[in-house]
């Protein structure tokens, strides 16, 4: 038996690889350090061929940086979840149209024109149509911290330290966070990943999953990170800071109450905060960090969001209430969720979508007519959504379908560059840039067929999208 580990500082890998030969059989077990991992057993015609195959696998992993180790010496990565403290709201009931109980406390939510995404602490990610029908389910290896979108791509940050691309049929690991980082929140813009953590740091990782910079503003418990084309905005126990996205140079720092959540619009960032028994949402100017408005709530603010352009500001507190303010800070209404406190939220087309401490994804009718009726005591009977027993569960995999016909796809190739494996476009008409591509399926010399590639907004690299197939 040969046991190897790869644990990198900054870069993030924290994996093991074990090869056992028993007669003519080779057993390979691999995964995250501290976890049981996955096992593959392969029989061979003779014991000599089994030994040769094992030696080849060990040599491949050694070239990638794996080294002999003793199982159990390195610990599983630290994982912290936000403390669940939620009481029942005394406010009138909000007009909930439908609700879906995901099975565990939920933090992750993303809503687009086609569907709603929710991820929970069991590692389940569901997609739900706006009408309230469950349309898909992914199963990730650990609890889901958050779900974020970056143009075409949908990503789920997971407690196993990986960020999974959910844009295709099968989840693919796109980023891997250093093992010593206790992740609190994630955001991605144009391929650059921002990570905030328990120690109050913020870290930037590029499209190749390589460490760029890290900064600390002196606080801890950094629950907020938001990224745009110019900056990374970081919220922690002492306030909010802005850093230059390219090199992490500090731009401004604004003291606030303890930050528990963050949101952004084009010109402003929003920080949901807690202080004593109350809380507020701060609106800060992106340019200079100036406090533009404060939205006062009656409890600690677990989440916040806005309507387009920041015309209305929404907040969820630890007493299972949701609020709506106008842009100036005037409170327009406060209503109870009926489903626990909103850990995350998003507004779209006069509907407020929330995920809660009891694991529910709920759709609230936030139109003026529905809110007026609710404040008068008239609310609809919520539809309780169930996932069909026949719904297929899709898990991450490094196995690829093989094809021989290129068709309308784009061909890319994996090449070795020093210690790294890079992917570049082979099809004609493209620049000789690297391609953002899942690390787990890269093999030197292999060619792949992807649906397409897009140039990053800042240029300099491509991003593969759609299904990935191995080209024979």
Q: Which residues contact 34 (CB under 8 A, 6 or more apart)?
A: 74, 75, 76, 77
- pLDDT at 307 (0 to 100): 97
The helix/strand count (H/E) of the chain reads as 2, 41
Q: Please indicate, yes or no, if residue 210 is contained in any of the structural domains.
A: yes
CATH number reported for the structural domain that contains residue 422 in this entry: 2.40.50
- Tell which of 359, 385, 411 closes a domain: 385
Please indicate, yes or no, whether residues 146 and 31 belong to a single structural domain of this protein.
Answer: no
Q: Please indicate, yes or no, if residue 396 is contained in any of the structural domains.
A: no
CB atoms within 10 A of CB 47: 13
Q: Please indicate, yes or no, if residue 395 is contained in any of the structural domains.
A: no
- Read off φ and ψ for residue 327, nearest 5 degrees: -60, -30
Two tokens, residue 45: 């015609």
Q: Please indicate, yes or no, if residue 73 is contained in any of the structural domains.
A: no
Among residues 190, 118, 233, which one has the least CA distance to residue 436?
Answer: 190
Please indicate, yes or no, whether residues 170 and 22 belong to a single structural domain of this protein.
Answer: no
The 8 Å CB, 24+ separation contacts for 122-127 are 123/158, 123/159, 125/156, 125/166, 126/100, 126/102, 126/361, 126/387
- pLDDT at 259 (0 to 100): 96
Please indicate, yes or no, whether residues 266 and 197 belong to a single structural domain of this protein.
Answer: yes
Please indicate, yes or no, whether residues 409 and 286 belong to a single structural domain of this protein.
Answer: no
Q: Please indicate, yes or no, if residue 80 is contained in any of the structural domains.
A: no
Phi-psi region of 304 (alpha: psi -120 to 50; beta: other; left: phi over 0): beta
Burial (CB count <10 Å: 0-12, 13-18, 19+), residue 451:
middle
Count up the domains in the chain and report the number. 3
Please indicate, yes or no, whether residues 338 and 433 belong to a single structural domain of this protein.
Answer: no
CATH number reported for the structural domain that contains residue 239 in this entry: 2.130.10.10
Q: What do you get for the CA distance between the two ends of the chain, in Å? A: 33
Phi-psi region of 7 (alpha: psi -120 to 50; beta: other; left: phi over 0): beta
- The C-alpha atoms of residue 428 and residue 271 are separated, in whole angstroms, by 46
- The C-alpha atoms of residue 65 and residue 56 are separated, in whole angstroms, by 15
- pLDDT at 315 (0 to 100): 98
Please indicate, yes or no, whether residues 253 and 368 belong to a single structural domain of this protein.
Answer: yes
Q: Please indicate, yes or no, if residue 168 is contained in any of the structural domains.
A: yes
CATH number reported for the structural domain that contains residue 57 in this entry: 2.20.140.10
- pLDDT at 10 (0 to 100): 47
- The C-alpha atoms of residue 304 and residue 288 are separated, in whole angstroms, by 21
Q: Please indicate, yes or no, if residue 91 is contained in any of the structural domains.
A: no
Q: Domain range for residue 59?
A: 2-68
Please indicate, yes or no, whether residues 41 and 104 belong to a single structural domain of this protein.
Answer: no
- pLDDT at 39 (0 to 100): 86
- pLDDT at 333 (0 to 100): 97
Let me know: does 177 contact 162? Beta carbons within 8 Å.
yes
Among residues 447, 443, 437, which one has the least CA distance to residue 405?
Answer: 447
CA torsion sign for 13, 15, 19, 25 is: negative
Q: Which residues contact 447 (CB under 8 A, 6 or more apart)?
A: 411, 412, 413, 414, 426, 470, 471
Burial (CB count <10 Å: 0-12, 13-18, 19+), residue 218:
exposed
Q: Write out the H or E segment, with its range, that includes residue 61.
A: helix 47-63
- pLDDT at 160 (0 to 100): 85
Q: Please indicate, yes or no, if residue 64 is contained in any of the structural domains.
A: yes
DSSP 203-215: EEE-TTS-EEEEE
- Tell which of 338, 358, 385 closes a domain: 385
Please indicate, yes or no, whether residues 156 and 192 belong to a single structural domain of this protein.
Answer: yes
Give Rg (Cα) of the chain: 24
Please indicate, yes or no, whether residues 412 and 366 belong to a single structural domain of this protein.
Answer: no
- Tell which of 68, 86, 117 closes a domain: 68
- pLDDT at 4 (0 to 100): 87
* Digit-coded pLDDT (tens) for 325-368: 999 999 999 999 998 999 999 999 999 999 998 889 999 999 99
- pLDDT at 11 (0 to 100): 45
Please indicate, yes or no, whether residues 446 and 371 belong to a single structural domain of this protein.
Answer: no
- 471 has which bridge partners? 403, 447
pTM of the model: 0.84
Please indicate, yes or no, whether residues 139 and 203 belong to a single structural domain of this protein.
Answer: yes
Please indicate, yes or no, whether residues 182 and 304 belong to a single structural domain of this protein.
Answer: yes
- pLDDT at 228 (0 to 100): 96
Residue 147 CA: distances (Å) to CA of 15, 127, 165, 212? 24, 12, 10, 22
Instruction: Walk along the chain (472 residues) and give the pLDDT tens digit of each residue.
Output: 898 888 765 445 677 889 999 999 999 998 777 777 778 889 999 999 999 999 989 888 887 778 888 776 666 666 776 666 677 788 899 999 999 999 998 888 999 999 999 999 999 999 999 999 999 999 998 899 899 999 889 999 998 888 999 998 899 999 988 777 788 899 999 999 999 998 899 999 999 988 899 998 788 899 999 999 999 999 999 999 999 999 999 999 999 999 999 999 999 999 999 988 789 999 999 999 999 999 999 999 999 999 999 999 999 999 999 999 999 999 999 999 998 999 999 999 999 999 998 889 999 999 999 999 999 999 999 999 999 999 999 999 888 999 999 999 999 999 998 878 999 999 999 999 999 999 889 999 999 999 999 999 989 999 999 899 999 9
- pLDDT at 77 (0 to 100): 63
């Amino acid at each position: 038996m040969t046991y190897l580990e790869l644990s990198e500082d900054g870069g993030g890998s924290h994996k093991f690889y074990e090869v056992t030969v028993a007669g003519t059989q080779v057993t390979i077990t691999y995964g995250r350090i501290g976890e049981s991992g996955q096992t593959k057993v392969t029989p061979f015609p003779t014991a000599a061929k089994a030994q040769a195959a094992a030696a080849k696998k060990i040599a491949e992993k050694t070239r990638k940086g794996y080294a002999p180790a003793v199982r159990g010496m390195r610990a599983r990565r630290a994982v912290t979840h936000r403390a669940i403290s939620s009481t029942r709201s005394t406010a009138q009931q909000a007009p909930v149209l439908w609700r879906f109980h995901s099975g565990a406390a939920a933090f992750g939510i993303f809503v687009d024109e086609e569907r709603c995404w929710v991820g929970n602490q069991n590692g389940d990610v569901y997609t739900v149509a706006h009408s309230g029908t469950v349309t898909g389910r992914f199963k990730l290896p650990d609890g889901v911290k958050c779900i974020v979108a970056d143009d075409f791509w949908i990503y789920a940050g997971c407690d196993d330290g990986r960020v999974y691309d959910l844009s295709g049929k099968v989840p693919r690991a796109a980023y891997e966070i250093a093992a010593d980082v206790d992740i609190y929140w994630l955001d991605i813009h144009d391929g650059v990943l921002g990570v905030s953590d328990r120690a109050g740091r913020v870290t930037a990782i590029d499209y190749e999953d390589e460490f760029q910079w890290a900064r600390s503003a002196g606080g801890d418990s950094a629950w907020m990170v938001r990224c745009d084309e110019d900056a990374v905005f970081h919220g922690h126990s002492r306030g909010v800071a802005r850093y230059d996205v390219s090199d992490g140079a500090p731009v401004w720092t604004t003291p606030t109450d303890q930050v528990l959540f963050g949101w952004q619009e084009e010109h402003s960032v929003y920080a949901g905060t807690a202080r004593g028994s109350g809380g507020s949402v701060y609106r800060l100017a992106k340019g200079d960090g100036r406090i533009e408005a404060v939205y006062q709530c009656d409890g600690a603010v677990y989440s916040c969001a806005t309507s387009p352009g920041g015309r209305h500001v929404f907040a969820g507190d630890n007493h299972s209430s949701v609020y709506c303010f106008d842009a100036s800070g005037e409170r327009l209404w406060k209503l109870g969720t009926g489903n626990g406190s909103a850990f995350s939220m998003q507004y779209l087309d006069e509907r407020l979508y929330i995920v809660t401490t009891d694991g529910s994804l709920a759709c609230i009718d936030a139109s003026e007519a529905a809110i007026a009726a609710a404040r008068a005591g008239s609310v609809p009977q919520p539809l309780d959504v169930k996932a069909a027993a026949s719904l297929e569960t899709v898990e991450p995999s490094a196995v690829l379908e093989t094809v021989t016909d290129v068709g309308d796809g784009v061909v890319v190739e994996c090449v070795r560059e020093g210690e790294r494996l890079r992917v570049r476009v082979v099809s004609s008409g493209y620049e000789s840039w690297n391609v953002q591509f899942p690390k787990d399926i890269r093999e030197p010399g292999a060619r792949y067929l992807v649906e397409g590639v897009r140039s990053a907004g800042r240029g300099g690299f491509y991003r593969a999208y759609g299904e990935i197939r191995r080209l024979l």
